[in-house]
């Protein structure tokens, strides 16, 4: 463990270190009540941290409403009803607590003259300000733990030395001999009436967490800075009222730790609030006298009251202070009552007074500039030089801003209209000052010695005195008995009266007794010494035991601190891991969510795909069905139209052939006439072919037989018996045919019945008949018997040559006869009787039938038709 050297204030830490914790300058605002003579109030407290400045009526009129209502925010605003006690609890107490815990503090009041700076800092009887309250709190807290006077001694270089008890005692005696009157007033009553009862006893308070294993000493100093000169207000310079000499100003110096201090400034050790008050009062009186003597204005000077607290740990016994300068810690609290911040013009000063005022102003200007530059450097990372040296005030407090400490500023404001402009300037500066940050003071290292030393020592002392008292009481009771015993144990002294000059017995006897007594005494002394030595060695043994115990305890403590460190490390590691796991969990969460989303997407897409596939399938099958239907329709239509074409062609051909036949007939008749006239003998009239006669005979029948062509191989005549003759027939009846209850049915014995013609059947027969059904024009089904001869082809197959067609048809006798092709044919039948033409037409019909209805692939088409 290292101890810091005694210094004031403590050495600034490494400024640039990024891990230095910083606090902003704490700026508070206090509004004083409006004076009785003042009417208009320009300051309004909006909240407990914000005030609003209203421009006075006159100003508004003059500046044409240019002045807005401005708001300023501070750490806290204290309204007119704030008591000194409340203010102290908020602002002063933390600073005093810091002071006790070896941390530096700076508190200053800022504002225009009459705004209540002095009232806030010093206060008035019954309403003590921050200064007396701070002292009171300090002494109430450290009171019983204060070191004896002169144990701590300032070394004139801003350091603190420690004196031995003896030196301190000597110095105390020296001082007492020099002073006739005792310095420390025994009670508050003895204090100067002006400063008596600053704080009522019921308002007294104290800090709780004071290290009682330390010894404390308080030193106060009081300086005034006027016209940029520093004057020591506590200096014991003889003052000549007749010929006053101007006081000697002091210089600022830098100590070995680069802290600024007023060289040669009196630092008075004080042991109680009252004593400290008295010293302060002494300085105050001196200030007042000097001001009147030198015709100065007190509002133009800055006053700095510094409370310095030196502390050092008690030794292991808890009995005395450790005699080690390195273990002394010094902290200080500066209470500054700044000069009024108003502009020179307002004071209507002249000549040297004006110059002085200018200087005072200059110092406040410098303070503002320093704060501005500091703020700029901190906010924008610039490295501008802060002009601390331009004035004594800023130079003196340089270390607070550069080093470490707690800085607090109370901005006092008088709400009266006259102060409006100055107050707004003050507010602007104060608001800006809040943006400056000061390094937070670090905690003092813990002392290696076991805590509670003072307590144990006290308990030991109490116990010792109690025992001594007990012992003393019993000693008094036992003493005569012990003495008597002792005396009795000694040989009695014989009678030693010499009556006879020749007595040579008495003296030798006496000598012998005395010698024996001397011997016994020596023995007792020896025994005592022995016992003492024994006791001493026992004590030493005990001491060494205690020493080893202590070292053991120290070891254990250091181990504990090591373990503590390990625990701390592990804790931070755990923290880190926990944080990491949290972030990971968060990431996992996000990923899980994303996965869920994707899966949902996937599912919906799959669903969509399936429905689309189904739809596609449906559409496909629909299309196929449609295709089939269309194909069927196309085939039907094609068939229909081809038939129609065929029919028309046939009709036309028949018509033409008939015409041809008629012409032929006429020609024959003409020829016959010619020959008849030539041969004069009668000749037979040309007859219609026999076929015609057959036809005429069959005319009455319902069944109409197709006329056969005359030319071979077509039979010239048609007989029904042909179909039932002795030849073997292939009876081709397509499976689509319906069984009709027509009376006339062909009878084909020995016929091979087939639904589709095959080569096997054809090879066995010579004749072929096809039963072909179709819808007639009158809606009745007619069956046609298409007959042919089977003959062998050169390639080894069979071919059918059609020779005849018979039509079997039912007719409704009541139904009107439609003008069909057949009727037309019958109409002309009587006149057109050429079987040749007829056969042709039948063949054409047969081709049609085979091609479109029976699908007989083996049947030759074109060549047969030509025949
Ligand atoms: P400054 O030091 O700023 O010039 P002072 O502290 O001397 O001003 O105050 C001027 C007058 O106003 C004094 O008489 C003081 O008692 C009075 N005063 C200032 N502040 C208050 C306050 N908060 N409450 C009551 N009186 C106040
Ligand atoms: Mg004042």
696-729 pLDDT, tens per residue? 444 444 444 444 443 444 444 444 444 445 678 8
In this structure, the residue with its CA closest to atom 10 of ligand 1 is 114
Q: Is 118 touching ligand 1 by the criterion CB < 6 Å? A: yes
> Residue 772: its pLDDT value, please?
84
Quote the DSSP letter at residue 404.
Answer: B
Is the separation of the CB atoms in 103 and 441 below 8 Å?
A: yes
Same domain, residue pair 103 and 161? yes
Placement of tokens 């006798």 in the chain: 813
Q: Which of 116, 122, 300, 412 for a ligand 1 pocket mutation test, highest count of atoms within 8 Å of Cβ?
A: 116
Residue 41 backbone dihedrals phi, psi, to 5 degrees: -105, 125
**Which of 191-195, 491-495, 687-691, 856-860 has the weakest average pLDDT?**
856-860
Same domain, residue pair 427 and 490? no
Residue 17 located in a structural domain: no
Question: Of 769, 785, 808, which closes a domain?
Answer: 808
Same domain, residue pair 630 and 513? yes
Same domain, residue pair 431 and 505? no
Same domain, residue pair 137 and 221? yes
Cα distance between residue 819 and residue 10, in whole Å: 140
Query: Higher model confidence: residue 130 or residue 737?
Result: 130
Domain that holds residue 526: 486-675
Q: Which of 79, 82, 118, 119 for a ligand 1 pocket mutation test, highest count of atoms within 8 Å of Cβ?
A: 119
Same domain, residue pair 665 and 754? no
Residues contacting 733, CB < 8 A, separation 6+: 753, 754, 755, 771
Among 107, 75, 76, smallest CA distance to 92 is for: 107
Name the percent of the chain lying above pLDDT 90.
41
> Residue 621: its pLDDT value, please?
95
Same domain, residue pair 386 and 500? no
Q: Is 113 touching ligand 1 by the criterion CB < 6 Å? A: yes
Question: Of 675, 706, 727, which closes a domain?
Answer: 675
Among 414, 373, 417, 365, smallest CA distance to 393 is for: 365
Instruction: Provide mean pLDDT across the span 291-307.
Output: 85
Cα distance between residue 768 and residue 732, in whole Å: 7
Residue 354, pLDDT > 70, answer no
Residue 841 located in a structural domain: no
Using CA atoms, how far residue 630 sits from 622, 624, 638, 639, 851, in Å, is 12, 10, 12, 14, 22
Instruction: Provide mean pLDDT across the span 543-567.
Output: 94
Cα distance between residue 623 and residue 563, in whole Å: 87
Question: Of 439, 461, 477, which closes a domain?
Answer: 439
DSSP assignments along 16-49, one per residue: T-TT--EEE-EEEEEEPPPPTT---B-EEEEETT
> Residue 426: its pLDDT value, please?
92
Residue 5 located in a structural domain: no
Query: Higher model confidence: residue 13 or residue 799?
Result: 799
- What's the token pair of residue 491? 């040989």
Same domain, residue pair 434 and 507? no
> Residue 258: its pLDDT value, please?
87
Q: Cis omega (within 30 of 0) on the bond before 9?
A: yes
> Residue 787: its pLDDT value, please?
87
Residue 695 located in a structural domain: no
Query: Higher model confidence: residue 390 or residue 795?
Result: 390
Same domain, residue pair 505 and 422? no
The CATH number given to whatever domain includes residue 800 is 2.60.40.4330
Instruction: Provide mean pLDDT across the span 413-419.
Output: 91
Ligand 1 centre distance from Cα of residue 110 (Å): 13
Cα distance between residue 306 and residue 266, in whole Å: 11
Ligand 1 centre distance from Cα of residue 108 (Å): 15
pLDDT digits 0-9 by tens, 104-120:
999 999 999 999 999 99
**Which of 341-345, 581-585, 647-651, 667-671 has the weakest average pLDDT?**
341-345
Name the average pLDDT for the chain.
Answer: 80
Q: Is 423 touching ligand 1 by the criterion CB < 6 Å? A: no
Ligand 1 centre distance from Cα of residue 117 (Å): 7
Same domain, residue pair 494 and 413? no
Ligand 2 centre distance from Cα of residue 107 (Å): 15
Q: Is 116 touching ligand 1 by the criterion CB < 6 Å? A: yes
The gap from C-alpha 184 to its chain's centroid, in whole angstroms, comes to: 62
Q: Which of 32, 110, 416 for a ligand 1 pocket mutation test, highest count of atoms within 8 Å of Cβ?
A: 32
Same domain, residue pair 491 and 578? yes
Ligand whose nearest atom lies closest to the CA of 124 = 1
pLDDT band with cut points at 50, 70 and 90 for residue 371: very high
The CATH number given to whatever domain includes residue 68 is 3.40.850.10
Among 101, 311, 329, smallest CA distance to 207 is for: 101
Name the percent of the chain lying above pLDDT 70.
77
Q: Is 412 touching ligand 1 by the criterion CB < 6 Å? A: yes
Ligand 1 centre distance from Cα of residue 348 (Å): 22
Long-range contacts formed by 370-376: CB under 8 A, 24+ apart: 370/394, 370/401, 371/25, 371/429, 371/432, 371/433, 371/436, 372/432, 374/401, 374/436, 375/432, 375/433, 375/435, 375/436
Residue 153 backbone dihedrals phi, psi, to 5 degrees: -140, 120
Residue 202 located in a structural domain: yes
Query: Higher model confidence: residue 29 or residue 238?
Result: 29
**Which of 281-285, 492-496, 554-558 has the weakest average pLDDT?**
492-496
Residue 140 located in a structural domain: yes
Residue 97, pLDDT > 90, answer yes
Residue 418, pLDDT > 90, answer no
pLDDT band with cut points at 50, 70 and 90 for residue 414: very high
Q: Is 119 touching ligand 1 by the criterion CB < 6 Å? A: yes
Residue 757 located in a structural domain: yes
DSSP assignments along 558-624, one per residue: HHHHHHHHHHHHHHHHHHHHHHHHHHHHHHHHHHHHHHHHHHHHHHHHHHHHHHHHHHHHHHHHHHH
> Residue 351: its pLDDT value, please?
58
pLDDT digits 0-9 by tens, 49-69:
999 998 887 766 555 555 578
Placement of tokens 């115990």 in the chain: 549
Long-range contacts formed by 423-426: CB under 8 A, 24+ apart: 423/42, 423/43, 423/53, 423/111, 423/112, 423/115, 424/53, 424/70, 425/341, 426/110, 426/111, 426/112, 426/341
pLDDT band with cut points at 50, 70 and 90 for residue 766: confident
Instruction: Provide mean pLDDT across the span 626-632.
Output: 95
In this structure, the residue with its CA closest to atom 5 of ligand 1 is 116
Cα distance between residue 772 and residue 846, in whole Å: 10
Instruction: Provide mean pLDDT across the span 621-635.
Output: 95
Is the separation of the CB atoms in 761 and 752 below 8 Å?
A: yes
Q: Is 114 touching ligand 1 by the criterion CB < 6 Å? A: yes
**Which of 189-198, 335-344, 374-383 has the weakest average pLDDT?**
189-198
Query: Higher model confidence: residue 240 or residue 234?
Result: 234
> Residue 597: its pLDDT value, please?
95
Total structural domains in the chain? 3
**Which of 39-43, 200-204, 574-578 has the weakest average pLDDT?**
200-204
pLDDT digits 0-9 by tens, 449-460:
778 888 888 888
Residues contacting 199, CB < 8 A, separation 6+: 128, 132, 133, 136
Residue 481 located in a structural domain: no
Same domain, residue pair 257 and 143? yes
667, burial (CB in 10 Å: exposed 0-12, middle 13-18, buried 19+): exposed
What is the pTM for the complete model shown?
A: 0.56
């Amino acid at each position: 463990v290292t101890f810091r050297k005694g210094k004031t204030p403590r050495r600034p830490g490494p400024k640039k270190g990024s891990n230095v914790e910083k606090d902003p300058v704490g700026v508070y605002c206090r509004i004083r009540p409006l004076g009785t003579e003042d009417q208009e109030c320009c300051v309004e407290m909006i909240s407990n941290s914000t005030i609003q400045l209203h421009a006075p009526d006159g100003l508004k009129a003059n500046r044409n409403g240019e002045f807005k209502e401005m708001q300023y925010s501070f750490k806290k605003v204290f309204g007119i009803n704030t008591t000194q006690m409340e203010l102290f609890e908020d602002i002063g107490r933390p600073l005093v607590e810091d002071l006790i815990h070896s941390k530096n503090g700076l508190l200053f009041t800022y504002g225009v003259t009459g705004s209540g700076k002095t009232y806030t800092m010093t206060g008035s009887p019954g309403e003590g300000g921050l200064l007396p309250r701070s002292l009171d709190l300090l002494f109430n807290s450290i009171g019983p733990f204060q070191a004896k006077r002169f144990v701590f001694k300032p070394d004139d270089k801003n350091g603190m030395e420690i004196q031995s008890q003896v030196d301190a005692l000597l110095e105390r005696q020296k001082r007492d001999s020099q002073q006739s009157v005792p310095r420390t007033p025994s009670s508050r009553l003895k204090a100067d009436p002006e400063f008596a009862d600053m704080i009522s006893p019921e308002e007294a308070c104290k800090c709780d967490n004071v290290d009682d294993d330390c010894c404390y000493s308080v030193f106060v100093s009081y300086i005034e800075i006027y016209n940029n000169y520093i004057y020591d207000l506590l200096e014991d310079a003889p003052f000549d009222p007749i010929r006053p000499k101007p006081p000697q100003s002091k210089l600022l110096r830098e100590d070995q730790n680069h802290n600024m201090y007023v060289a040669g400034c009196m630092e008075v050790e004080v042991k109680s609030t009252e004593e400290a008050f008295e010293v302060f009062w002494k300085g105050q009186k001196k200030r007042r006298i000097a001001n009147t003597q030198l015709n100065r204005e007190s509002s133009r000077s800055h006053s700095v009251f510094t409370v310095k607290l030196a502390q050092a740990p008690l030794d292991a016994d808890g009995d005395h202070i450790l005699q080690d300068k390195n273990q002394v810690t010094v902290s200080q609290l500066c209470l500054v009552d700044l000069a009024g911040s108003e502009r020179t013009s307002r004071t209507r000063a002249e000549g040297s007074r004006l110059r002085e005022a200018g200087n005072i102003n200059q110092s406040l200007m410098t303070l503002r500039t320093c704060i501005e530059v500091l703020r700029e450097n901190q906010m924008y990372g610039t490295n501008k030089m802060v002009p601390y040296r331009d004035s004594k005030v800023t130079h003196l407090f340089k270390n607070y801003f550069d080093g470490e400490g707690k800085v607090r500023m109370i901005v006092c404001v008088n709400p009266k209209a006259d102060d409006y402009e100055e107050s707004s300037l003050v507010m602007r500066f104060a608001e800006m000052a809040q943006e400056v940050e000061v390094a937070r003071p670090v905690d003092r290292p813990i002392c290696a010695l076991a805590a509670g030393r003072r307590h144990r020592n006290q308990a030991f002392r109490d116990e010792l005195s109690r025992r001594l008292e007990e012992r003393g009481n019993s000693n008094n009771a036992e003493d005569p008995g012990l003495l008597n015993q002792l005396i009795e144990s000694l040989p009695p002294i014989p009678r030693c009266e010499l009556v006879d000059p020749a007595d040579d017995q008495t003296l030798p006897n006496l000598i012998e007794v005395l010698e024996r007594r001397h011997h016994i005494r020596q023995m007792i002394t020896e025994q005592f010494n022995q016992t003492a030595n024994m006791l001493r060695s026992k004590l030493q043994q005990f001491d060494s035991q205690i020493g080893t115990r202590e070292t053991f305890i120290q070891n254990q403590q250091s181990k504990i601190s090591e373990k503590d460190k390990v625990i701390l490390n592990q804790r931070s590691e755990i923290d880190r891991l926990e944080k990491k796991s949290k972030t990971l969990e968060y990431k996992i969460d996000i990923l899980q969510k994303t996965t869920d989303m994707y899966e949902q997407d996937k599912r919906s897409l799959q669903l969509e795909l399936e429905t689309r596939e189904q739809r596609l399938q449906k559409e496909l099958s629909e299309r196929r069905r449609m295709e089939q239907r269309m194909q069927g329709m196309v085939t039907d239509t094609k068939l229909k139209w081809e038939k129609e074409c065929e029919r028309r062609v046939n009709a036309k051909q028949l018509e033409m052939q008939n015409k041809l036949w008629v012409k032929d007939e006429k020609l024959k008749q003409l020829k016959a006439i010619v020959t008849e006239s030539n041969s004069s003998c009668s000749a037979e009239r040309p007859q219609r072919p026999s076929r015609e006669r057959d036809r005429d005979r069959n005319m009455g029948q319902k069944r109409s037989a197709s006329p056969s062509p005359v030319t071979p191989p077509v039979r010239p005549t048609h007989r029904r018996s042909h179909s039932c003759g002795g030849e073997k027939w292939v009876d081709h009846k397509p499976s689509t045919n319906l069984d009709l209850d027509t009376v006339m049915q062909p009878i084909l014995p020995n016929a091979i019945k087939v639904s589709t013609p095959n080569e096997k059947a054809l090879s066995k027969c010579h004749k072929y008949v096809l039963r072909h059904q179709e819808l007639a024009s009158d809606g009745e089904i007619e069956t046609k018997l298409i007959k042919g001869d089977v003959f062998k082809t050169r390639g080894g197959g069979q071919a059918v040559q059609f020779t005849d067609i018979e039509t079997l048809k039912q007719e409704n006798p009541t139904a009107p006869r439609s003008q069909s092709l057949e009727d037309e044919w019958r109409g002309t039948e009587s006149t057109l009787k050429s079987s040749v033409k007829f056969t042709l037409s039948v063949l054409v019909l047969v081709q049609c039938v085979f091609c479109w209805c029976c699908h007989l692939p083996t049947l030759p088409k074109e060549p047969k038709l030509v025949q």
